[in-house]
Amino acid sequence: MRFHSGPDLMYGKIRLLSDMQKKNLFDILYKCLDEWDRDDYSSDAPDAPRWQLKICTKWRCLRTVTGSDGAPPYGREIGEALGEVVREGEVYFWGRGES
């Protein structure tokens, strides 16, 4: 996870995470790494919006998961944790209004 220190922080778009928020986010992401059973959660709908989530360290990418028209398992928890970081009213991570 990239913890921003540049213009996004200066203009208030990204909040610094507390130690508890970092722990919560990392706990969720590690759970996903252990429990996701596939790397593609796409639907058959041809016009569905697509999303991609990469979980990377400083040295390598641990997992890339893609999908469309819906969240992966633990998508709600990931959306809530990331929503605490981004300072916007409505933030959608998985396509059509699903957080």
Q: Please indicate, yes or no, if residue 94 is contained in any of the structural domains.
A: no
> Into how many domains does the chain fold?
1
Q: Please indicate, yes or no, if residue 19 is contained in any of the structural domains.
A: yes
Q: Please indicate, yes or no, if residue 27 is contained in any of the structural domains.
A: yes
Percentages helix, strand, coil for the chain (3-state, rounded to 5) are: 30, 20, 50
Q: Please indicate, yes or no, if residue 98 is contained in any of the structural domains.
A: no
- How many other C-beta atoms lie within 10 A of the C-beta of residue 70? 17
| Residue type present at position 15 | R
Q: Which structural domain, as residue segments, surrounds residue 65?
A: 7-83
Q: Please indicate, yes or no, if residue 92 is contained in any of the structural domains.
A: no
Q: Please indicate, yes or no, if residue 96 is contained in any of the structural domains.
A: no
Query: Using an 8 Å Cβ cutoff, are 26 and 32 in contact?
Result: no
pLDDT digit string (tens) for 24-64? Answer: 888 988 888 888 889 998 888 888 888 888 888 888 888 88
Which of 3-12, 30-39, 80-89 has the lowest average pLDDT?
Answer: 3-12
Six-digit token pair at 41? 């959660």
